[in-house]
Amino acid sequence: MHPPVPANRSERVHDVDAAIRQTDSDAALARLSAVRKGYLNDRFISSLVPRAQLQPLRPPLINTGTYVRSEAIDRLVEQWLELSKPEGQLCQIVSLGAGSDTRFWRLMDGPWKEQIGAYFELDFPDVTLKKAMAIRNPRSGLSTTLGHSELDLGGQALHSSRYHLLPCDLRNPPADIFPGLFKEYLSPALPTLLLFECVLVYMSPEASSTLIQWFVDFFSPSTHTPLPGTLGCTVYEMFGLEDAFGRVMMNNLRARNVSLPGAKPYPSLESLPARFLRHGFTSAKALTLRNIRSNYIEPSELERTSSLEMLDEVEELNLVLEHYAITWAMKASSAATISPWIEWGLRPVKQA
């Protein structure tokens, strides 16, 4: 839903990942647009987009898609934090390919603040360097939420009591990079939610499988941690790109030097949860954004957002939303710890 801006020829030659990193600006601009048009509330996003007031608004179709995915993932995250409350446990959230996401600041502004034990954001070093600079800019106000923070790794990493910004290439073997990056900050004992918002699709299926397996192993019983925390995952990305729509999308992206190797094993909605069941997850489910918009958003919200701007292309909207899905999966560390996590997931709203 965020077509990247084309990379020029010299960038293509010298830095094949520039176009992938550019997708972060596209996602941030889409969010900023949805906020300015009144779809979403986010008082932090403008601090992470240079010259925010001068940025063009995105078309209604993009604003609607951004709203639906954002609402659905917010709900999954908030529910995860809510479920951990009766357990008396703090949660960890790890956002992989976090880019300019503002979720940490939004959560710290709301009722789930006390539930967050640690929040990690991982991305390419260039992206984390830019984000660390924005956070440390006193005019952004972002560092107030963090309290005392320290830069590390030449300004590419930032640590505070709860928030950690970590630079890496997620395609590298996690066993080589994660122990040094997470150090002792990531605990195997706490319920932990992984967020993959539009990132796995840029990686090979082998690299994303190795990445997920590293977390599965980290949250498996060991002599040090006989009862590890429950592991949750949410993934937002495109799928089913083998049809005419998908071929056009792939060609457009290829012209902009972006390929989607991670989309290949996912020709259908059913194939999305299978990714997690293969890694031994206890439960997994996926829904298209079209289904979420129709059946999982409160009718009053649907009415409110539909009245924000004229959306002529309803068929086109539905076609696009049918090619994006949100998957969520949960892995309990033992049969005794399945409850209450089995409750976790999007629930359809009651139709009037």
Ligand X SMILES: C[S@@+](CC[C@H](N)C(=O)[O-])C[C@H]1O[C@@H](n2cnc3c(N)ncnc32)[C@H](O)[C@@H]1O
Shortest distance, CB of residue 129 to ligand X, whole angstroms?
12
241 counts as binding ligand X under rule CB under 6 A: no
Q: Six-digit token pair at 156? A: 């590419």
Question: In terms of Cα–Cα distance, which of 101, 50, 52, 100 is closest to 74?
Answer: 101
* Binder among 65, 97, 262, 273 for ligand X (CB under 6 A): 97
**Which of 85/171 has CB closer to ligand X?**
171
Shortest distance, CB of residue 307 to ligand X, whole angstroms?
26
For residues 138 and 143, give the distance between their C-alpha atoms in angstroms, rounded to a whole number.
7
**Which of 265/340 has CB closer to ligand X?**
265
- Please answer whether residues 115 and 81 qualify as being in contact, where contact means their C-beta atoms are separated by less than 8 angstroms: yes
For residues 136 and 48, give the distance between their C-alpha atoms in angstroms, rounded to a whole number.
11
Alpha helix segments (H runs only) across 110-192? 125-136, 142-146, 174-182
Indicate the residue whose CB is closest to ligand X.
97
Shortest distance, CB of residue 114 to ligand X, whole angstroms?
25
157 counts as binding ligand X under rule CB under 6 A: no
* Binder among 202, 215, 296, 324 for ligand X (CB under 6 A): 202
* Binder among 19, 146, 193, 203 for ligand X (CB under 6 A): 203
32 counts as binding ligand X under rule CB under 6 A: no
In sequence order, what are the residues at sequence separation of 6 or more whose Cβ sits closer than 8 angstroms to the Cβ of residue 144?
A: none
* Binder among 1, 19, 20, 231 for ligand X (CB under 6 A): 20
123 counts as binding ligand X under rule CB under 6 A: yes
Shortest distance, CB of residue 202 to ligand X, whole angstroms?
4
3-state helix, strand, coil in the chain (%, to 5): 45, 15, 35
Q: How far is CA 162 from CA 54, 61, 143, 279, 331, in A?
A: 33, 36, 12, 29, 24
Residues in contact with ligand X by CB under 6 A are: 2, 20-21, 23-24, 27, 97-99, 101, 123-124, 127, 169-171, 197-199, 202-203
